Structure 1
Amino acid sequence: MATIFYARVSTVDQNIEHQQAQAEAAGFKIDRVVADHGVSGVSTLFSERPNGKRLFDMLRGGDTLLVRWVDRLGRNYSDVRDTIQEFMRRGVVVRTVINGLTFDGATQDPMQQAVRDALIGFLAATAQANAEAIKEAQRGGIALAKAKDSETKYRGRKPSFSRTQFTAAWDMLNQDVGVASIAKATGLSRQSIYRIKDDPAGAELAMKSWGI
């Protein structure tokens, strides 16, 4: 029985090694790492990704599919929900690094199945909602940059976070992860995390001003 860690990175700023290190630090033993690069979790279904598709052939009953969070499987509600359900039907256990969630098809109790499936649906919806929130913040930052083009020629203070750290912090904030836990996971100060939380559009604008 193997544990395969799946990572998806949609931009050059994101780092597979960081996702793997986070999983190993949480105590997971990984037998193999499979990743898709430059793939959007919104517009590309899991089964349409080169290595996402391969996992359906690689994983066998009793194996574990490990991901940092369900949004690595996708940021589309139906796709994430259907992907987890399909793996469970095949006897594959799906686990997440964040919060240590486990989804499998072992229980035959209808009430437990209902609770499990409801949680899967909620997390899938959250993944899509987070993606839409980030897009909205980006649109707001771009609009503000255009409206104040002359002002943004002076870039101001350089952000204390990278785009990878911003994305990770924003994702976890929307999952109600505590600021202290986010600081530990991302290496950011609490002040930086509160700045992202209070003004994501401003943070997006600052990163774009500095080419981050």
Structure 2
Amino acid sequence: MSQTILYARVSTADQTLDHQRVQAEEAGFKIDEVVADHGVSGLSCNLADRPQGRRLFDKLRRGDVLVVRWVDRLGRNYQDVTDTIRDFMRRGVVVRTVINNMTFDGATTDPMQEAVRDALIAFMAATAQAQAEATKEAQRAGIAAAKADAKRYRGKKPTYDAATLTLVQEMAAKGEGNSAIAKATGLSRQTVFRIKADPAAAETALERWAS
């Protein structure tokens, strides 16, 4: 007896297994079983290397239907996704997507229909990988921008450390002049002047660069 299996891949906190099942059922699929992997990347981890993804290769039989929200749930690596779908089709498994209601099977023997089907599989797999790589690049750019913003917020790195700052404050409290303090600490007279003028700001600058 054939069965309809929903495969769900939940890779982020924003995605849920329930949401993917509800979407499938609302699209008219009668799901017999749900197989799901949690917290795995579709770009770097092939379907067969995931704990539950491996189960699909063991469970699916000729006549079964594999339902996925879209091909990116199978993976975001072009070669893996195209190889996987073609492998399932050779086994007699029908692969269907909830989004766009696409159906991929190996029943057709017409070469033109096969060519169109294979081209569509390739296009969807390539799109999934391109989207994943674009997302990663945007994340890298966002992290770099955040680091740059944090550096700008911290201002210029102080030329003194905590021990030097303490020495400046102690010598200033004893009435030592800027030149004498500068000579003793190795700081410029301007830096000594700024520390003496606003000790709290000098300490805050050190704290910003402590992390």
Output the TM-score relative to the length of structure 1.
Answer: 0.69
Mapped pair 1:15 → 2:16: yes
Identity %: 72
Query: Hey, what does 2:42 align to over in structure 1?
Result: 41
Instruction: Please say which structure displays the higher CA radius of gyration.
Output: 2
Q: CA deviation at 1:58?
A: 0.6
Alignment of 1:28-177 (within 5 A): 28-149=29-150
Q: CA deviation at 1:148?
A: 1.3
Q: CA deviation at 1:13?
A: 3.3
2: CA distance between counterparts of 1:26 and 1:71? Answer: 18
Bigger relative contact order, structure 1 or 2 (CA pairs below 8 A, ≥6 apart): 1
Output the TM-score relative to the length of structure 2.
Answer: 0.70
Count matched residues.
153
Amino acid at match of 2:28: G
**Further displaced range: 137-146 or 77-86:** 137-146
2: CA distance between counterparts of 1:150 and 1:125? Answer: 37
Amino acid at match of 2:132: A
Query: Hey, what does 1:2 align to over in structure 2?
Result: 3
| Structure 2 unmatched ranges of 5 or more | 155-211
Give CA-to-partner distance per residue, 1:108-166, whole Å, 9 cap, x none: 0011101100111111100100000111111121111112127889xxxxxxxxxxxxx
| Structure 1 unmatched ranges of 5 or more | 154-212
2: CA distance between counterparts of 1:38 and 1:69? Answer: 17
The runs of at least 4 consecutive aligned structure 1 residues that moved more than 4 Å come to 150-153
CA RMSD of aligned residues (A): 1.5
